[in-house]
């Protein structure tokens, strides 16, 4: 074990898209656990779009990261030392080490992982926060019925890919929206979506309308921007819109320019009796057991698949995160901070 702990901290609040100078990589001594604490080594760091909001000065649904603090993030780790009876050296855990090699925890928010079960990396992916987000957003808010049309933005991403597959398993027609053509091909060929259109094509609006001849009953919103504007007029009466994210707007430091679309939006909400509901996955922890049981069974039976985009080395986390905000990842984005002894 190294004596030094590499940490990536927030050096400046970004103005627009995060720059490399908004972060700092420093080295500090590896911390030592006190009574009632454990020390763990980070194996996988999950990179997720919500992290961009925590870099702002203003308070969102989560506490912002202060200048000089280690960047926040969920991790898969291995216990190195422990004075907590329920955790032993060598145990694999799901925890919140953030963007660093080692961290000390008092056990709050820590869950033990079974190295003989699904790959431990899935605890921050398909069987973790992104998977639970997809599960509760679609089933509890979208409430899909067989035969309905479900449109999913960011369809090849960590959340969108799971949303679409669950919708397919529930008997829906599923249309994905993605960026590169390669991603669209993956969504239809590997994930079983009925269609996928590229938001980058000049014919995006026409292609989307063609892919949804019966309109849209559920739109799972991950994107915002022109994608949301394109789906909105296609929503059917009593359509449902689970609002999970709006990645197109995360780097904006000022409100987008252009016409005020609120009157149009509210008019459609009224006349088509739409339901739009934002949600935060942490508010649905009571659904975790049923999620793990049902999604775990789908994976085991080969009914649901997933893709991981793994970047090696903590030193590459900044560039990987910048790419994530521009849609350059392909699947659930992880940083392998240290060797995974289970693989």
The rounded distance, in Å, linking the Cα atoms of 315 and 27 is 12
Question: Which contiguous run of DSSP H or E holds residue 95?
Answer: strand 92-95
Hey, CA dihedral for 48, 282, 125, 113, is it positive or negative? positive
Residue 233's pLDDT is what? 95
Bridge partner list, 278: 243
Bridge partner list, 196: 176
The rounded distance, in Å, linking the Cα atoms of 97 and 45 is 8
Map tokens 């329920």 to a residue: 86
Strand 235-243: give its sheet, edge to edge: 195-198, 173-178, 149-153, 216-220, 235-243, 275-278
Q: At what angle do helices 288-300 and 129-136 cross, to 10 degrees?
A: 100
Contact criterion met (CB below 8 Å) for 7 and 30: no
pLDDT digit of tens for each residue in the chain (343 aa)?
789 999 999 999 999 899 999 999 999 999 999 999 999 999 999 999 999 989 998 877 778 999 999 999 999 999 999 999 999 999 999 999 999 999 999 999 999 999 999 999 999 999 999 999 999 999 999 999 999 999 999 999 999 999 999 999 999 999 999 998 999 999 999 999 999 999 999 999 999 999 999 999 999 999 888 899 999 999 999 999 999 987 656 555 566 666 777 888 899 999 999 999 999 998 999 999 999 999 999 999 999 999 999 999 999 999 999 999 998 999 999 999 999 999 8
Contact criterion met (CB below 8 Å) for 180 and 200: yes
The rounded distance, in Å, linking the Cα atoms of 108 and 336 is 23
Q: What is the pTM of this model?
A: 0.92
Distances (CA, A) of 249 to 24, 222, 309: 25, 11, 23
The rounded distance, in Å, linking the Cα atoms of 14 and 258 is 23
Chain Cα centroid distance, residue 323: 14
Element counts in the chain: helices (H) and strands (E) = 9, 15
Distances (CA, A) of 101 to 30, 95, 98, 213, 238: 9, 13, 9, 51, 48
Residue 167's pLDDT is what? 98
- Domains (range + CATH), the chain: 4-125+307-336 (3.90.180.10), 129-283 (3.40.50.720)
Contact criterion met (CB below 8 Å) for 198 and 206: no
The rounded distance, in Å, linking the Cα atoms of 102 and 79 is 10
The rounded distance, in Å, linking the Cα atoms of 137 and 219 is 11
Map tokens 């063609």 to a residue: 210
């Amino acid at each position: 074990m190294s004596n030094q702990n590499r940490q990536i901290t927030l050096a400046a609040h970004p103005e627009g898209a995060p720059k490399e100078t908004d972060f700092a990589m420093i080295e500090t001594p590896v911390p030592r656990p006190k009574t009632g604490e454990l020390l763990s080594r980070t194996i996988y760091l999950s990179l997720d779009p919500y992290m961009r909001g925590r870099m702002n000065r203003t308070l969102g649904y989560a506490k912002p990261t202060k200048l000089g603090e280690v960047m926040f993030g969920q991790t898969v780790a291995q216990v190195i030392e422990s004075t907590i009876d329920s955790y032993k050296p060598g145990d694999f855990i799901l925890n919140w080490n953030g963007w660093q090699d080692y961290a000390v925890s008092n056990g709050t928010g820590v869950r033990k992982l079974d190295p003989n079960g699904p790959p431990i990396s899935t605890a921050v992916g398909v069987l973790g926060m992104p998977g639970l987000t997809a599960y509760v957003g679609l089933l509890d808010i979208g409430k899909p019925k067989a035969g309905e049309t479900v449109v999913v933005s960011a369809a090849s991403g960590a959340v969108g890919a799971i949303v679409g597959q669950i919708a397919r398993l529930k008997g829906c027609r599923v249309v994905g929206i993605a960026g590169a053509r390669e991603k669209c091909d993956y969504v239809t060929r590997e994930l079983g979506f009925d269609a996928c259109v590229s938001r980058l094509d000049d014919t995006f609006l026409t292609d989307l309308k063609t892919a949804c001849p019966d309109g849209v009953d559920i739109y799972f919103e991950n994107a915002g921007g022109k994608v949301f504007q394109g789906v909105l007029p296609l929503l059917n009466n009593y359509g449902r819109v689970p609002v999970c994210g709006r990645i197109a707007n995360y780097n904006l430091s000022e409100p987008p320019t252009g016409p005020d679309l609120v009157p149009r939006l509210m008019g459609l909400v009224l006349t088509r009796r739409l339901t739009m509901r934002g949600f935060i996955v942490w508010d649905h922890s009571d659904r975790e057991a049923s999620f793990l049981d049902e999604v775990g069974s789908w994976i085991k039976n080969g009914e649901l698949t997933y893709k991981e985009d793994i970047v090696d080395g903590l030193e590459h986390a900044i560039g990987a995160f910048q790419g994530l905000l521009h849609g350059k990842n392909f699947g659930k984005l992880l940083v392998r901070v240290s060797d995974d002894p289970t693989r």
